[in-house]
Structure 1
């Protein structure tokens, strides 16, 4: 029972990363096996991830092409 309570308290986290095989930018929720959605550019992916984080009281991180986090923001109600 304790593990369920811990998971409930965790805020969702989304990442924007480059999918080098498909040459697209993906938005995915941390812990998910697949991308939520793919975009042609990082510029298109950022507002989508930002909206998900806002709506779900979560956080999003923007990764550069090198994979390192370059920016991000968290939201709380």
Structure 2
């Protein structure tokens, strides 16, 4: 019960703070949204590079038929 009361008080204070400082909140969003997009893009790029390098390392030296047979087996 204590956690519910603390949560409701925090939500109320948060909404009150957003309403009182609406323009500052919008300024913060103008900064945070592009930053989040850049950070997510970098993470996705690194994950793609990592995945690409792993797949190219394991596929080196194998014929196309071997790779296709393994892919059809995994599905």
Return the structure number with greater strand share: 1
The structure that has the greater radius of gyration is 2
TM-score normalised per structure 2: 0.23
Relative to its length, the structure with more helix (as a share) is 2
TM-score (norm 1): 0.23
